[in-house]
Copies of this chain bind each other. A is one copy, B any other.
């Protein structure tokens, strides 16, 4: 897409609820014209969120965004419950009335909403659901159709520990080295950031591996080093099936294991004990090898809860215990992990 985005954060630009917006601003390759946020209007993005590399002005309303030339309104906040509130409905209708396309990953499917759908039809704009998946998915094409790219797949010991961030950092670092590198999104925030991809958790279960296969084939049209975002964890009772489907469908050549430093259990309702890191490495390598061999090339620790010295010591300790390069790619930079992956790919 060559769209010019206005990111709607609606008072929450400073808050972690705006994680979709933050992701697009930090990692996106799409053009961001402005952020729409009445609370922070008049400032610039970096004044509110210094880690966002794509700086942009913050404007008060959709009309101001349109005047700056934005032609897509991207909902950059996950509202409580993910449903469309009456206030947001008005905002989206206003954007549509001004001729803007609308993109969102809400539980409310925009195109299924009669009022929004009618407004979009009459304005000639698109309503794009970031969670929408193709209706012609199937099983993987198989080894007769090899993937013309190298695939690195991030996996994790738990959900929500930074797999997407690690994947994005490694892709960005690879691109900065001049490699033909591509981030392949498998969740709706990743799709918002990349402008393409698929929210595989919305795919019918029979086709998760087929979805991963299609994504890496599409990725291989865009570059020859693919970073496929992982989902869930083999140790998480509720989501392990999605994790294994991605792992087996990915045609991965190497894995990067993401782990929250110090975590010893996993899950929401059912707290399941985790093995120590050498055991987690072994489980992922064994599970992928049921269909295809791929080593854990490196470990990406999330050490946000530790002091810098303790974090460095822990990385060194894990590296000694597992025999894999271990680092916090957000805190200390992605270069060591990237080097280890490239060396594994050979």
Contact = CB atoms under 8 A, between A and B. Distances in A.
A245 B203 CA distance: 14
A142 B248 CA distance: 27
Contact of A238 (B201, B209, B235, B241): B209
A201 B207 CA distance: 8
Given A140-B238, A286-B286, A206 B210 contact: no
Interface string A265-300: 001111010000000000100110011100000000
B268 A139 contact: yes
A165 interface: no
Contacts of A322: none
> Which of A234, A243, A244, A249 is packed against the most chain B CB atoms within 10 Å?
A244
Contact of A269 (B142, B206, B241): B142
Given A205-B245, A206-B202, A245-B205, A237 B144 contact: no
A300 to B, nearest CB: 21
User: Which of the four size classes fits the interface of chain A?
Assistant: 35 or more
Contact of A205 (B200, B237, B248): B200
Interface in A135-166: 139-144
Given A203-B205, A204-B204, A241 B244 contact: yes
Copies of this chain in the oligomer: 2
Nearest to A238: B139
Contacts of A242: 205-206, 241, 245
A196 interface: no
A205 B243 CA distance: 10
A180 interface: no
A170 interface: no
B205 A241 contact: yes
List of 8 A-B pairs having minimum Cβ-Cβ separation, nearest first: A241-B245, A142-B269, A139-B238, A201-B206, A241-B241, A205-B205, A237-B291, A244-B244
Interface of A: 139-144, 200-206, 208-210, 234-246, 248-249, 267-270, 272, 283, 286-287, 290-292
Given A237-B248, A238-B248, 13 more contacts: A140-B237, A201-B206, A203-B204, A206-B238, A209-B240, A210-B238, A236-B291, A237-B292, A240-B244, A240-B248, A241-B243, A241-B246, A272-B291
